[in-house]
């Protein structure tokens, strides 16, 4: 398992928190905490196939700005004790009903007074919204980076994307899992996850195999504030894709910020390039937290 001594900055504290899901699956959360007192906590969900440790620079940058970050680990990736294969499969249901609730329960038990937020990158952002629709009282709001609906009609050359939504499930069923590392798309992924992901890409609607919940209705009822950071050169997360995703939500604050090369010091403002220069992203998030804190304080005072 992971080495708990990954902290290299004296100004913050880092923790590795073991988690056991309801079905016995095990994984670890990586936490980076600010020095001194803090009250904001971001539970961050990675992109498909991306290990949690790759977001440690983002977590560090946020912790240095007074925001605690806990990085989720997806089933089958990094510290997870599961690996996708013909005899080991799962779908959105296990992620949403087993893994994420187990992680959130540990955060609530360890830091009950923290104001908690959900956020994610790419598919992680989508699943953060689905999770919030199931547990709207757990989170104060949502932060998305390079995220959007995978609906093929919201992409330029969408017919190529639609073809991928037919090919990926077929390949996953043939191999027993999607060999993402071999084909250059994410990590090795369970065929059930690919089925759920591809279905939402084909239809533009969210559903999870084995779950009876109407996610479209639940998203329409979700009124939490959302900050969405779109990368200007991100062909995997275009404006139309993000608008389709946010358009599913109920009334509430919806703030979209576009990040370009200049913001990232000349580095590509694309789907993954921002991870090499996460400080500007962290600064934008920290500013959002400050504004939302002030709005929350105003609401508390007005109801006192």
pLDDT at 3: 36
pLDDT at residue number 187: 84
| Span 63-78, pLDDT tens digits | 999 999 999 999 999 9
Other CB atoms within 10 A of residue 15 CB: 15
Q: Where are the domains of the chain?
A: 12-150+214-303
Query: 């105003």: which residue's tokens?
Result: 298
Instruction: Tell me the CATH class for 12-150+214-303.
Output: alpha beta
Note the pLDDT of residue 301.
76
- Residues in the chain where the model's pLDDT stays below 70: 1-10, 304
pLDDT at 144: 99
pLDDT of residue 143: 99
What are the C-alpha distances in Å from 172 to residues 74, 83, 97, 152, 211? 18, 14, 23, 20, 21
Strand partners, 144: 120, 228
């Amino acid at each position: 398992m992971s080495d708990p001594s990954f902290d290299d900055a004296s100004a913050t504290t880092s923790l590795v928190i073991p988690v056991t899901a309801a079905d016995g699956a095990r994984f670890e959360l990586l936490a980076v905490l600010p020095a001194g007192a803090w009250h904001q906590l971001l539970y961050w969900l990675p992109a498909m196939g991306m290990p949690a440790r790759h977001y440690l620079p983002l977590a560090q940058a946020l912790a240095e700005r007074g925001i605690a970050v806990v990085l989720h680990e997806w089933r089958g990736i990094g510290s997870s004790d599961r690996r996708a294969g013909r005899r080991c499969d799962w779908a959105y249901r296990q992620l949403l009903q087993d893994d994420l609730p187990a992680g959130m329960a540990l955060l609530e038990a360890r830091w009950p007074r923290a104001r908690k937020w959900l956020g994610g990158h790419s598919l992680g952002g989508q699943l953060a919204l689905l999770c919030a629709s199931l547990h709207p009282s757990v989170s104060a709001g949502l932060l998305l980076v390079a995220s959007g609906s995978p609906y093929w009609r919201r992409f330029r050359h969408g017919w190529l994307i639609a073809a991928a939504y037919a090919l990926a499930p077929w390949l996953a069923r043939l191999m027993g899992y999607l060999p993402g590392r071999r084909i250059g798309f994410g990590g090795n992924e369970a065929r059930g996850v690919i089925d759920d992901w591809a279905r939402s890409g084909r239809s533009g609607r969210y559903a999870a195999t084995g779950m009876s919940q109407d996610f479209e209705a639940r998203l329409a009822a979700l009124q939490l504030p959302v900050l969405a950071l779109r990368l200007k050169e991100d062909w995997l997360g275009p404006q139309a894709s993000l608008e389709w995703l946010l358009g599913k939500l109920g009334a509430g604050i919806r703030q979209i910020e576009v990040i370009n090369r200049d913001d990232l010091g000349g580095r590509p403002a694309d789907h993954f390039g921002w991870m090499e220069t996460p400080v500007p992203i962290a600064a934008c998030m920290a500013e959002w937290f400050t504004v939302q804190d002030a709005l929350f304080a105003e609401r508390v005072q007005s109801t006192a």
